[in-house]
Structure 1
Amino acid sequence: MIRHVAVFTFVPEFTPAARAHWIAMIRDLPEQIPEVLSMSVGEDVLHGPASHELAIVADFSTLADLETYSTHPAHAAVLAVSKDVKASLAVVDFEVEP
């Protein structure tokens, strides 16, 4: 199984309403992309010095399924919203036991 983790920080102009809409779009992805086995998204609650603002964790059966997710039009719509409001993005994809 492949676990995809993405962590974000945002520009101040990303309003709470726009962020809530974007998070809702993310939470809808598993319904639109059957290759997503599970997905969690959440905002940071500690706000520590090394914290990012939001994380997404998604699981896929194979690298091919992750590629399908990455190129899916629903995911592209999410990226279109975040491209101008993300200050930073870090991603890691790794194998885990199913």
Structure 2
Amino acid sequence: MIRHVVVFTWSPDADAERRAATVAALRALREDVGGMTSLVVAEDAGLTEGNADAVLIAEFPDAEAFRRYAQDPVHLAVIAEHVRPILASRSAVQHEA
């Protein structure tokens, strides 16, 4: 199994409505793209100052399923239309679980 973890920090000018729409679009990837066995998209709980704003954790049965997801046009559209316009920084890792 491959676990894909992405940590997002939004730009300071991204308002609450835009952030919520982006999180909703990311959560919809499970149905809109598929191929994953689980998906969690969550906003930071605000317990520690300096944290990132949101995290995406997706699990895939194998590396090929992850690669299909990564190249899927719907996934790429969510990145282009929702994530990139408000993104200050992003970190990601894929690991075997």
TM-score (structure 2 length as normaliser)? 0.91
Percent identity for Structure 1 against Structure 2? 32
Which letter maps to 1:57? I
- The answer as to whether partners of 1:4 and 1:59 remain within 8 angstroms in 2 is yes
Ranges in structure 2 where 5+ consecutive residues have no aligned partner = none
**Superposition RMSD in Å:** 1.3
Aligned length: 96
Amino acid of the structure 2 residue aligned with 1:90: S
State how 1:73-88 maps to structure 2 within 5 Å. Answer: 73-80=73-80, 81-88=82-89
- One-letter identity of the residue aligned with 2:37: L
Please say if 1:95 is aligned against 2:96.
Answer: yes
* 1:20 matches 2:20: yes
Amino acid corresponding to residue 93 of structure 1 in structure 2: Q
Is residue 4 of structure 1 aligned with residue 4 of structure 2?
yes
CA distance in 2, matches of 1:22, 1:54: 10
Structure 1's unaligned 5+ residue stretches are none
Cα offset, 1:84, TM superposition: 2.6
1:92 maps to amino acid: V
- How far did residue 50 of structure 1 move? 4.5
